[in-house]
Amino acid sequence: MSHQENNRPRPKSLLAAITAACLLSACSLAPKTAMEPMPVPMAWKNAAPAEGWVSAEQARAWSQGQWWLLFDDPVLHGLIARVDLNNQNLKVAAANVAQAQALLRQQQAEFMPQLGAQANQQRSGGEDRATTGSASINLNASWAPDLWGRIREAVNAQSANVQASEADLAGARLNAQASLAEAYLALRATDAEIALMDEIITGYQRNARITQNRYDVGVVPRTDTFQAQSTLQGAQATRVALQRSRAAYEHAIALLVGEAPAGLAVAPAPWVHTVPRVPAELPSLLLLRRPDVASAERAVTAANAQIGVARSAYFPNLNLSASLGAGGAHLADLVSAPSLLWSLGLALAQNIFDAGAREARVEQTMAARAAAVARYRQAALTSMKEVEDQLNALATLAAQTEHMRAAADAAERIEQQQMNRYQAGMASYTEVVQAQASALSARRSLLQLHLQRQQAAVGLIQALGGGWQAPWAASAVPPGG
C-alpha cells in the first residue's frame, strides 16, 4: 500500500466519529433540579370573607388583566391605553426583550456548521521578470459538535433570560399602569377636594358677610370679623395648594403616557368612588405568575444552565472541518478538474492544566445559582407580604371610612348648630371657627380615605401581578419543575 493511500481519509471511520459526536451532544452537565419548589400559603391571614363577584364582567376584566376597567372610569381606561404606545420605560423594556431574543438566536446558531468562501486573484511582475498571475478559490466548512451540552445549556440559559426579560416587560407595564392609575385617582380626589373647598369658601364668605353686618350694628366685636376673614383666607390658600397638587398629578400622568406636560390636560370631572371587590377566592399560587417573581425564577433557571456550561470545560472539544479549493495561474485554470484540492479533518483539543481555573468557574456559577435562588425566594416572600398588607389595608380602610363618614356628618351638624347659636347671640365666633375647622377636617379626611381605599385596591392588583393570567407566563416553565 502506498504512502498516499495510508494518508487518505477513510469515509467509514470519519462517519463513525461524526455519529459518535452527535450522540454525545445529547449530554447535559447542568443539575437536573434548579431548586426546591417555593412554598406558598394555602390562605391569606388578612383575607376577609368575600361576598363574591357582583357580575361576570368584573371577573372577566380581572382574568384578562384589564383590571383598570373595574374602576368604571372611561377617562382612566383611555389614559392607560396610551401607556403601551408612548411610555419610554416600556420601550426600553421592549428593546431589552428584542436584544435577549437576538442573543438567543446567536446561541442557537452555534449548533449549525460554519460555511465560508474565499476567492483570490493576484498578478505580479517587474522590469527584469515576466508578469505572472495566480488565482484561487476555496470553500471551507467546520462544525464543533456539542459533545457535553455546552451549547445546549447556553441556549437554555439564554431562553430563560428571554422569558425573564419578557416578565420584566410585563412588570414594567404593570408598574406604569398602576402608577398612572394612582396618579389619576389622586387627581380626581384633588378635584373633589377643590369642589369641597369651593363649597366651603362660599359658606365662609356668607359667614363673613353675616359677621360684618353684625359688627356694623354693634352686636359683635371687631375681632369676630377678623376671625371670619382669617378663616376665609385660610380656605382660599388651601384651594390654591390643591391646584398646585393637581398640576403635579397631571404632569405625572403626562410623563407616564409619554407626553410633555404642556401637551396634556385632564379636564375636571366627577370622581368615581368605585372600589373593586376582592375575588371570592384568591389563590396564593397566583403570586408565582407575578412578573418580578417570574423573572426571578427564570433567573434561577438561567443560572442553573450556566453550571452545565462551566462543567463542560472539563471535557475535550471536537472540531470537524472540510475544505474544497482550486488554484492556478489563470482564472480559466480554476474550472479544470486537476486543479481541485480537497481536505477533511478532525481535531480534538483538551486543556491539561489551568491552575484550577475551571473549578473556580464552576464554583462561581454554583454560587451565582445560590444567589439567584435567594433572590427568587425573597421576591416571593415580598409578594406575599405586599398582598397581606393590601388585604389588611382594604379591610381596615373600609371600617375606618364608615366611622369617618359618621364623624363628618356629626361635625357638619355641630358646625350648623354653632352658627345658629352665634346668630342668636348664644355663642362666640371662636366656637364657630372651631366647629368649622373640625367639619372641614372631617370631610377632607373622608375624601382621603376614599382615595386610600382605591389606591389599596390598585396595590392589591399590582401585588397579585395584575390579574389571574398573563400572556408572557403561558410558555414559562413552572417553578421547581
Q: Is the dihedral of CA 174, 175, 180, 181 positive or negative?
A: positive
Give me the pLDDT at residue 24, please. 47
- Give residue 353's identity as a one-letter amino acid code: F
What parts of the chain have a pLDDT lower than 50?
1-11, 14-15, 17-25, 49-55, 469-481
Q: What is the pLDDT of residue 367?
A: 94
pLDDT at 38: 64
Q: What is the DSSP letter of 275?
A: -
Q: How far apart are CA 291 and CA 301, in angstroms?
A: 15
pLDDT reported for residue 18: 47
The residue count for the chain: 481
pLDDT value for 314: 87
Side chain identity at 262, as an amino acid letter?
A
pLDDT at residue number 138: 83
Which is it for the CA torsion 285, 36, 172, 252, positive or negative? Answer: positive
| pLDDT value at residue 129 | 72
pLDDT for 341 equals 77
Q: Which residue has the cell 445559582?
A: 369
H/E stretch holding 130 reads strand 129-143
Kind and range of the H or E run holding 224? helix 222-256
DSSP run (H or E) holding 208: helix 150-216
pTM of the model: 0.80
Give pLDDT, residue 445: 95
For residue 409, which phi and psi values (nearest 5 degrees)?
-60, -45
What's the pLDDT score for residue 473? Answer: 43
Model confidence pLDDT, tens digit, residues 321-375 = 888 777 666 655 555 555 677 788 888 888 888 888 889 999 999 999 999 999 9
Q: Which of 442, 455, 55 is nearest to 275 (CA)?
A: 455
Pairwise CA distance, residues 59 & 71, whole Å: 13
